[in-house]
Structure 1
Amino acid sequence: MGFSSVLAMVFIGAIAGWLSGKIMEGRGFGLIGNIIVGVVGAFLAGTIFPALGFAVGGGLFSSIFFATIGAVILLFLIGLIRKA
């Protein structure tokens, strides 16, 4: 994995984390936390959605879309764990 792919992953994760923080109001973790949630959410979406039969397209906007969905799911799960 090259530097440009890591940079792209952080960029997509930052956007996805910010969007998921806006969608799930009050459950964000700040800028750095949202970037981490976005990157983990992108990984989560990249592993779960193909197993469910959803194809992740090969574009910037589809990557951000699926990473945002993964980050929202991750924030929801973290919220459930916090309440327990």
Structure 2
Amino acid sequence: MGLIISIIIGLIAGAVAHRVLNSRGGFLGNLVVGLIGALIGGKLAEMFRLQVTGGILDQLVLATVGAILFLFLWRKIRN
């Protein structure tokens, strides 16, 4: 069940990041960006020693912030 929840959170986070940064991303693009964003968001939470309870909403927020940061940096590197 954890894998399915992670995939759903990744899809949502990737879709939100694409929408915020006004870029295009299909199903697979949203998933990849969201999962990478979740890794980045988790590392940021560790670095800043944030108190994260591990709930679905916390995971979604961290993944979305990480996905937005990842897409922003990806665009800067590619251009």
Give the deviation of 1:14 after TM superposition. Answer: 0.5
Q: Which residue of 2 aligns with 1:66?
A: 62
Q: Name the Cα RMSD after superposition.
A: 1.2
**Percent identity, aligned pairs only?**
32
| 1:44–1:70 CA contact under 8 A, matched in 2 | yes
Question: Does residue 4 of structure 2 align to residue 10 of structure 1?
Answer: no
Q: Which residue of 1 aligns with 2:75?
A: 79
Where does the alignment leave 5 or more consecutive residues of structure 1 unmatched? none
Question: Does residue 42 of structure 2 align to residue 46 of structure 1?
Answer: yes
Distance in structure 2 (CA, Å) of the matches to 1:55 and 1:79: 30
Distance in structure 2 (CA, Å) of the matches to 1:32 and 1:40: 12
Cα deviations across residues 29-51 of structure 1 (Å, max 9, x unaligned)? 32211111101100111122221
**Superposition TM-score, scaled by structure 2 size:** 0.89
Q: Which residue of 1 aligns with 2:21?
A: 24
Q: How many residues align?
A: 79
**Superposition TM-score, scaled by structure 1 size:** 0.84
Where does the alignment leave 5 or more consecutive residues of structure 2 unmatched? none
